[in-house]
Amino acid sequence: MKFNVNFNNHLNKDVIHLESHEINKKFVNDLINIFETKITLIDIKSNKSIKVSVNQIESIESFSHLSKVNLVDNSLFYIKGRIKEFSYFTQYKIVKINNSQLFNLSHINQISSDKASRLLIISNSNKKYIVSRYYSREIKEMLL
């Protein structure tokens, strides 16, 4: 797929215009959905709720009834719920990598394998995540 980008200072800075062939309608709608969808997170320090775009999430780690959310800027938040309740994140390429973590496949920098034949994901922020053998096949298929 080829992208043509034109910049125009006369347009509103909060608007992006997209033109595409009808065949690409689902792809464009999925792309818009990723950028427009926001979820409510809880700030660890102030206990206030904030809305964050789904594409800013790097990983989610389960802790009983709350889960820790790591954003791409290395900030930490909580979200109510357990990993089992977050299956809807798959549509945003945030997938389960082991029994306690989800990872956003959009933020992969490098993939390798470790000594135990598990995948090792290095994110754009240079954090390392271990993918269990059970989820390795799924993730490989999603990336190909």
The three-state secondary structure class of 97 is: strand
pLDDT, tens only, 62-101? 988 889 999 999 999 999 988 888 888 888 889 999 999 9
Tens of pLDDT, residues 24-71? 888 888 777 777 788 899 998 898 999 998 889 999 999 888 899 999
Domains of the chain: 22-142 (2.40.50.1020)
pTM listed for this prediction: 0.77
| Per-residue pLDDT, 94 | 92
> E strands of the chain, at which residues?
38-43, 49-53, 57-63, 66-71, 76-80, 94-98, 101-104, 108-113, 119-123, 128-131
